[in-house]
Structure 1
Amino acid sequence: MSRTTPENHPDRHASRFTGRTALLTAAASGIGAATARRLAEEGASVLVTDVDAAGAEKVAEEVRGKGGQARHLGLDVTNPEAWPEAIRTAQEWTGRLDLLHLNAGRNLPGAIHELDDSSWHDHLRLALDSVFYGVRAAVPLLSAAGGAVVVTGSVHAVLGFSGFPAYAAAKGGVSALVRQLAVEYAGRIRFNAVVPGAVDTGLWTDAPDEYRAQTAARTPVGRIGEPEDIAAAVAFLGSDDASFITGQNLVVDGGRSISSQE
């Protein structure tokens, strides 16, 4: 029997987002790009944003080439003054915003005594402050649509991994903020986080084969995740299929966080 994956799932092309608009951050590659493709396939008009404007444009062109609706915008998510323009772009394009996927973040390795102030604060601005800026700007439009926010968290928020204190702090803050916002905006906007484990994005480009194999072996399903695995979870949480789900952190890690394998 073949394994069901996000690529061959029978419901992959369901039109859950027809007539809806999604804005995605850090969408020039990896999880963000996979989510842009997935949402467009399900009928969404997708605003692809990234600090890498050229990369965002390439993803938008790819989506349009496959018959989807997409535009792109260069966006520095750490700049609070840039966010109102991004929201206005969505509003002027379709008149609505139904899903905001806040995906920015990066690993910053190093023991805490090795980090300088600038590195620590830069990391928190990217992974946590950006959520504050984005939600603050998007609340009116999301409220009008009865929309949803999905933030990309990390298993670093629930498990301890040596050498990533800034990343863990930022993603832990994301998890707590999602719960808070879900209560604060209940009945108007749903807030959830998708919490990936090891996913084969650009962060793994230079990973040694031995380390990749070890990581896969420690994961109960026997493999590292693909960006499409996370995109499928984002699409679910952002859709009406999850209309009774809010304030949750959905772990998508192949069972690693519940396994005793070392």
Structure 2
Amino acid sequence: MRLKNRVAMITGAGGPMGRAIALRFAEEGANLVLTDISERRLEETKQILTVLKKDVIAVRSNVLNYDEVKSVVANAYTHMDKIDILINVVGGIRSQPMNQSILEIDGDRWDDTMALNMKGSVNCIQLVAPQMIKGQYGKIVNISSIGFAGEAGLSDYGAAKAGVASLTKTAAIELSPYVNVNCIAPGIIQTSITTRMEQSELESYRNQTLTGRLGEPIDIANTALFLSNEESRNITGQIIAVSGGISPHL
């Protein structure tokens, strides 16, 4: 049990990646503080976890709202007394069409993508990290994307995910030596986003990988588990690509 007696807060816990991380952490003994913007999806995750008989707090929130995150964190401290691990999953791109030239993206789309991918992580770190420092222990994992290296049609998303990578490195410096802060950069993961992509686009990406496969939520969950336990105690400020061998860089 690599996370026995640890308390992990996971945002976006109703989505495929967040749910996979919650389940994997529960299997390793963690008690969980879960949040998601969707009450229905959050409750579905909680019901699955009750089978494992783990302590679970599930509080619906929009992590882009500082006060709502504050309520989630206060609830966690009241019922579990601490948060050892923070997994910032919330992110993505909401706009349609998904691919749009930098010459056509309007200000509203740009601002929405930046906020969706960065603001929630900043809110959560600001509210959780002080207690981690006080307790001299903490693990924070952010979710970026290999798209941070830049990709045609996704200038807003790539820039936002580059921001997440940079935020990770800054936080690792500022929160040292007691808090490890790392970042996972997934390739294309088989979630709802793949249903919005052309089959030819998916096949083109698959052909770029060395493994010949798309990623699955469990791949992200296993990496988050490694970065959240003592096996990775000397790893901080790193960006781990989970992308079938595609190596992003600026």
TM-score tier, shorter chain, comes to over 0.9
2:156 aligned partner: 166
Q: Which of 148, 152, 160 is the matching residue for 2:139?
A: 148
- The alignment's TM-score, normalised by the length of structure 1, stands at 0.88
Q: How many residues align?
A: 243
Q: Which of 180, 200, 203 is the matching residue for 1:190?
A: 180
2:88 aligned partner: 102
One-letter amino acid matched to 1:65: V
CA distance in structure 1 between the partners assigned to 2:63 and 2:166 by the alignment:
20
**1:96 Cα shift?**
0.9
1:76 aligned partner: 62
For structure 2, the 5+ residue unaligned runs are none
- The alignment's TM-score, normalised by the length of structure 2, stands at 0.92
Identity rate, percent: 28
When residues 206 and 113 of structure 1 are mapped into structure 2, their CA distance, relative to the original with a 3 A threshold, is closer
CA distance in structure 2 between the partners assigned to 1:44 and 1:35 by the alignment:
11
One-letter amino acid matched to 1:149: I
Q: Say if 1:225 and 1:253, in contact at 8 Å, map to a contact too.
A: yes
CA distance in structure 2 between the partners assigned to 1:102 and 1:188 by the alignment:
18
1:124 aligned partner: 114
1:256 aligned partner: 246
Q: Say if 1:61 and 1:70, in contact at 8 Å, map to a contact too.
A: no
Q: Say if 1:153 and 1:174, in contact at 8 Å, map to a contact too.
A: yes
Q: Say if 2:57 and 2:76, in contact at 8 Å, map to a contact too.
A: no
Q: Which of 9, 17, 22 is the matching residue for 2:8?
A: 22
CA distance in structure 2 between the partners assigned to 1:83 and 1:253 by the alignment:
30
Q: Say if 1:53 and 1:72, in contact at 8 Å, map to a contact too.
A: no
Q: Say if 1:57 and 1:73, in contact at 8 Å, map to a contact too.
A: no
Q: Say if 1:38 and 1:235, in contact at 8 Å, map to a contact too.
A: yes
One-letter amino acid matched to 2:155: P
The root-mean-square deviation of aligned C-alpha atoms, in Å, is 1.5
When residues 76 and 223 of structure 1 are mapped into structure 2, their CA distance, relative to the original with a 3 A threshold, is same
One-letter amino acid matched to 1:231: A
Partner-residue secondary structure (3-state), 1:187: coil
When residues 39 and 145 of structure 1 are mapped into structure 2, their CA distance, relative to the original with a 3 A threshold, is farther
